[in-house]
């Protein structure tokens, strides 16, 4: 694929565990990107992400799944260390990092407990399901809070984010290792369709040139998947007969 043409990266989870992790990553990114809380629009994006994050965490399976994955990645690194060309120092550093994260995650209080117990977050969370329910007359507490000094709001946002820091660090490390486990290959779809096997993979990563103005509709699980490319403009767009794209099974 040409380096000149910009590409768009799509990711598709092949199991429920990965689906949950990608959603958590998406919500955490929104929280960190909008931590400045400079106006009501930014604040509502932040608080809505917090509310949805707590909805996921309340299922209770995030910590055990992450601990299992941290252990699995340590085992994989131990196997790689036996290869002749292995970077032993790098592997040792990564294994130690994963061990530390496992200890921190095990010792951490209930995931999201600090956010769940915060009064302001609780009030906003209750109003988010009501259309326009966070306007100034419905939620005057939020209205006056947003008029605090920027450094005060920043300090409070840091407290909230620090309460889930171990979750973010563990998730970031796990997803980084999973993503790096797959190598991109140049592939070609015929009439917008491609299918293949994905034995024991957790994640599909697909890159397609932006100039084609197409997106993938992916279905599959951990043993087999199918990709159908569709035009962004459903009325006038078209799919090349032979579309080159890049795919990594991770």
What pLDDT is recorded for position 3? Answer: 54
What pLDDT is recorded for position 48? Answer: 96
What pLDDT is recorded for position 89? Answer: 87
What pLDDT is recorded for position 223? Answer: 80
The model's pLDDT over 182-200, given as tens digits with 9 standing for 90+, comes to: 999 999 999 999 999 988 8
Query: What's the length of the chain?
Result: 250
Predicted TM-score (pTM) of the model is: 0.92
Domains and CATH numbers, the chain: 16-181 (1.10.3900.10), 182-249 (2.60.440.10)
Token code pair at residue 196: 């293949």
The model's pLDDT over 146-193, given as tens digits with 9 standing for 90+, comes to: 999 999 999 999 999 999 999 999 999 999 999 999 999 999 999 999
What pLDDT is recorded for position 2? Answer: 45
CB crowding 18-45: b at 16 or more within 10 Å, else e: bebbbebbebbebbeebbebeeeeebbe
3-state class of 203 per DSSP?
strand
pLDDT at 1 over 60: no
Please enumerate in sequence order all residues whose Cβ is within 8 A of that of 221, keeping only pairs 6 or more positions apart, or say none.
Answer: 14, 15
Above pLDDT 70, what percent of the chain? 98
The model's pLDDT over 18-27, given as tens digits with 9 standing for 90+, comes to: 999 999 999 9
pLDDT at 129 over 60: yes
What pLDDT is recorded for position 4? Answer: 63
What pLDDT is recorded for position 139? Answer: 93
- Mean pLDDT confidence for 201-217: 95
């Amino acid at each position: 694929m040409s380096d000149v043409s910009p590409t768009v990266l799509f990711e598709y989870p092949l199991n429920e565990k990965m689906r949950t992790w990608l959603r958590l990553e998406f919500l955490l990114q929104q929280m960190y990107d909008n931590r400045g809380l400079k106006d009501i629009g930014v604040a509502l994006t932040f608080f809505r992400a917090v509310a949805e994050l707590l909805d996921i965490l309340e299922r209770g399976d995030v910590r055990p799944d992450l601990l299992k994955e941290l252990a699995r990645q340590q085992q994989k690194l131990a196997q790689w260390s036996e290869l002749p060309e292995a970077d032993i120092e790098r592997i040792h550093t990564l294994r130690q990092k994963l061990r530390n994260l496992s200890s921190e995650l095990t010792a951490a209080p209930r995931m999201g407990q600090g956010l769940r117990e915060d009064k302001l977050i609780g009030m906003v969370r209750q109003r988010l399901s009501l259309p326009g329910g966070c306007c100034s007359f419905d939620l005057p507490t939020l209205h006056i809070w947003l008029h605090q000094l920027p450094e005060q709001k920043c300090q409070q946002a840091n407290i909230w984010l620090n309460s889930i820091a171990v979750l973010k660090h563990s998730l970031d490390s796990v997803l980084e290792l999973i993503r790096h486990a797959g190598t991109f290959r140049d592939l070609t779809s015929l009439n917008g369709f491609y299918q293949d096997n994905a034995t024991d993979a957790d994640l599909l990563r697909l890159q397609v040139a932006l100039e084609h103005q197409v997106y993938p509709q992916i279905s599959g699980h951990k043993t087999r998947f199918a990709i159908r490319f569709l035009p962004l403009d459903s009325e006038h767009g078209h799919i090349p007969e032979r579309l080159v794209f890049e795919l990594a099974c991770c």
